[in-house]
Amino acid sequence: MSKVKVLFVCLGNICRSPLAEGVFKKKVEEKGLADRFVIDSCGTSNYHIGEQPDRRTIKNALVNGVRLNHQGRQFAVQDFNDYDYIVAMDASNRRDIEYLRPVDCIKKVWLMRNFDNSGLNKDVPDPYYGGENGFQEVFDIIDESADGLLTFLIEENRF
C-alpha cells in the first residue's frame, strides 16, 4: 500500500511549516494512521537550511503537547515528484512554489487554511516578528486546519 505524502511549506521553515508538520503528525498518530503517511516540511527561502525551528515555535508546540523534530530545508522542484499534497501557509509561499512547478506537473498546491472553517484563500500569519501571542494564534489556526486536512485526506484516499 502506498503512503500519502504531505509537504507543508512556509517562508523560512522555522515557524509555521514545522509546526504544521508536528501538529499533523500528532493527529495522524492519534488516528492510528502513522503507517499510511509521510509528512515533512520545508521553506521557500534558503534562510534557515539545517536550523532547528524557532525557539518560540518549539516552546509553543510543547505547551500544546506537540514535539518538533525538524531541520530546515528549502523547497526543491523534486518535491513535486516526491509529495502527493503540497500545502502552503500563505499566498506568497504558494506563488513561489507555483513558479517552480514543471510544465507537465498537474499536482495542486493547497493553502493550509483551505481546510479550516474560515473560508478559502486566507493566510496563516507569520508569527516571526510578533510576540508570544502570535505563536498561539498560529498554533490554533494550524490545529483547526490540520483537522480539516486530515478529514479531507481520509476521504480522498478512502482510509
Catalytic residues: 10, 16, 126
Q: Is 32 left (phi over 0), alpha (psi -120 to 50) or beta?
A: left
Grid cell 510578533 is found at 130
**Gap between the Cα atoms of 64 and 37, Å rounded:** 22
Identify the burial level of 136 via C-beta atoms within 10 angstroms of its C-beta, where 0-12 means exposed, 13-18 middle and 19 or more buried.
middle
Residue closest to 123 by CA, chosen among 9, 1, 5: 9
Q: Which residues of 33-50 are buried (b: 16+ CB within 10 A; e: fewer)?
A: beebbebbbbbbbeebee
Find all residues with CB under 8 Å of 148, minimum gap 6, and list them.
Answer: 115, 116, 117
